[in-house]
A and B are shown apart, each in its own frame.
Chain A
């Protein structure tokens, strides 16, 4: 086996994994704050990317387009909180989950009704070419775009982790995640927190949408990115930011390795399910996920 090729695949997988982590992070934020498994995260990524690229194509300045899209996502997040989640408060989690499936359809329909359904290219000015110096010195072909994109994602993930660790809002959020009732009792305004979190999730969706969109084009298939993030969540647990990061790396790397080394044996195309199977096998061993604690139901 060619060692430098192996590392090339591994690193490519890890870089893709960082991007999965980014999408997974959107899920974790909302789950931590409001206990909702937001299936619509993928639709939000799509909506953000499509809005941004459509504004650009209409000649809007890059930064202005970014600002407008961000504003749209924030307003959208708050609207979702108000219209969908608030009336469903205290319902079983599975009901909320199904509501977000409904939301997925609304958002997908809405984005395409407004902006049309044709695919767009998104140019961020970073070429998707292998880095020559690395190829020269080690023989590994690592895409410059992948490296920069995962760098951006990593910075964002780190910034969010710090934000939740050290700011007032972040601490309030963690209090809410631990115990809604107690948080209410000590006067943390839950509704504001939820609105903030949905807005932050909208922002994460925008960044994820831009990076993924620049890589694969802005099109309906972008919504499937969210499906890629789900095994990451099973692996890492829905409530752990660290879990999302480590889970993303594991899934990204093992998926790429399997695609390259296992794929040809079974006719390829295994990336549609391989991550799920890894996550499932893992669950059979550790149902509580990577970092979750084992919980015994109280009766």
Chain B
């Protein structure tokens, strides 16, 4: 089945979102949608508001205006202000621009925390380590080991993440997000600061996630080559406004986008 053919209906729609910090307008009236199973890229110059957009979608930042509509289990849910815990419960997972792993914990424990929403045992059961607590721990360990295999990080599973090199940390962070079995995955510059080889690996992982698990992906990336290669549609932000939206080919020919990147005066 071709990639295009798998793409389904809209699952997330961001409508007229505005966010500001004091005087800084990080987002102004931004609207766009994301379809099921697609890879949606957000691009734009530094400070354009890309990260802020992701932060609004999963409730880390709270916009002053606008709504976010999300289709979950066949029904639309509407939020003027998402709560990050709720976002997680609705199947949104993400990685961060500046790695946000739990530094003092091992790779395995980091990824296990990704499954916390699936665990049911109370803390008393866990303390006594019987029945459900023990079964759950085993069951989720198996699931996590599958992800570890998928991400090819078996050799470091017992290493504290603080001791890993940057590229591997980025991979572990993706693994932690995957552990939640998200329906929508938000990736904030997953390949930033990597060399060619690491970038290629990461691209492969992102596409594999998209193919194998059917996960919808929203991704911020600066490397145009990568964006053109792996994304189905692209949103372009500049100074907090949306200045372009379309397939990679359309974006490549968009004069406003070219100007923004070349720094033409507004």
Instruction: Report A's interface with B, CB cutoff 8 A.
Output: 293, 296, 299
Task: Give the residues from 62 to 100 in chain B that come closer than 8 angstroms, CB to CB, to chain A.
Answer: 96-98, 100
Task: Give the residues from 175 to 229 in chain B that come closer than 8 angstroms, CB to CB, to chain A.
Answer: none
- Residue in A293, A296, A299 whose CB lies within 8 Å of B51: A299
Which residues of B lie under 8 Å from residue A293 when comparing CB positions? 22
Is there a chain A Cβ closer than 8 Å to B239's Cβ?
A: no
Inter-subunit contact A299/B100 (CB<8 Å): yes
Distance (Å) between the CB of A91 and the closest chain B CB? 14
Inter-subunit contact B21/A299 (CB<8 Å): no
Inter-subunit contact A296/B98 (CB<8 Å): no
Q: In the docked arrangement, what's the CA distance between A296 and B61, Å?
A: 8
Q: In the docked arrangement, what's the CA distance between A296 and B97, Å?
A: 16
**How many chain-B residues does the 8 Å CB contact rule pick out?**
10
- Identify the 7 closest CB pairs spanning chains A and B, nearest first: A299-B96, A299-B60, A299-B100, A299-B55, A296-B21, A296-B61, A299-B98
| Cβ-closest chain B residue relative to A294 | B22
Distance (Å) between the CB of B48 and the closest chain A CB? 15
Q: In the docked arrangement, what's the CA distance between A296 and B55, Å?
A: 12
- If A293-B22, A296-B21, A299-B51 are given as contacts, then 4 extra A-B residue pairs at C-beta distance below 8 Å, sorted by A number, are A296-B61, A299-B60, A299-B97, A299-B100
Distance (Å) between the CB of B61 and the closest chain A CB? 7
Query: What string of 1s and 0s marks CB contacts (under 8 Å) between B118-135 and chain A?
Result: 000000000000000000
Distance (Å) between the CB of A204 and the closest chain B CB? 33
Which residues of A lie under 8 Å from residue B100 when comparing CB positions? 299
Distance (Å) between the CB of B240 and the closest chain A CB? 16
Which residues of A lie under 8 Å from residue B55 when comparing CB positions? 299
Q: In the docked arrangement, what's the CA distance between A293 and B21, Å?
A: 11
Which residues of B lie under 8 Å from residue A296 when comparing CB positions? 21, 61
Distance (Å) between the CB of B60 and the closest chain A CB? 6
Which residues of A lie under 8 Å from residue B96 when comparing CB positions? 299
Q: In the docked arrangement, what's the CA distance between A299 and B98, Å?
A: 7
Which residues of A lie under 8 Å from residue B51 when comparing CB positions? 299
Q: In the docked arrangement, what's the CA distance between A262 and B100, Å?
A: 48
Which residues of A lie under 8 Å from residue B21 when comparing CB positions? 296
Q: In the docked arrangement, what's the CA distance between A293 and B97, Å?
A: 25
| Cβ-closest chain B residue relative to A293 | B22
Distance (Å) between the CB of B112 and the closest chain A CB? 22
Q: In the docked arrangement, what's the CA distance between A293 and B96, Å?
A: 25
Which residues of A lie under 8 Å from residue B22 when comparing CB positions? 293
Q: In the docked arrangement, what's the CA distance between A296 and B51, Å?
A: 14
Q: In the docked arrangement, what's the CA distance between A220 and B55, Å?
A: 51
Distance (Å) between the CB of B225 and the closest chain A CB? 26
Complex A-B: 10 CB contacts under 8 Å? A293-B22, A296-B21, A296-B61, A299-B51, A299-B55, A299-B60, A299-B96, A299-B97, A299-B98, A299-B100
Distance (Å) between the CB of A287 and the closest chain B CB? 15
Distance (Å) between the CB of A235 and the closest chain B CB? 23
| Cβ-closest chain A residue relative to B96 | A299
| Cβ-closest chain A residue relative to B62 | A296
Distance (Å) between the CB of B158 and the closest chain A CB? 25
Query: What string of 1s and 0s marks CB contacts (under 8 Å) between B21-53 and chain A?
Result: 110000000000000000000000000000100
Which residues of A lie under 8 Å from residue B98 when comparing CB positions? 299
Which residues of A lie under 8 Å from residue B60 when comparing CB positions? 299
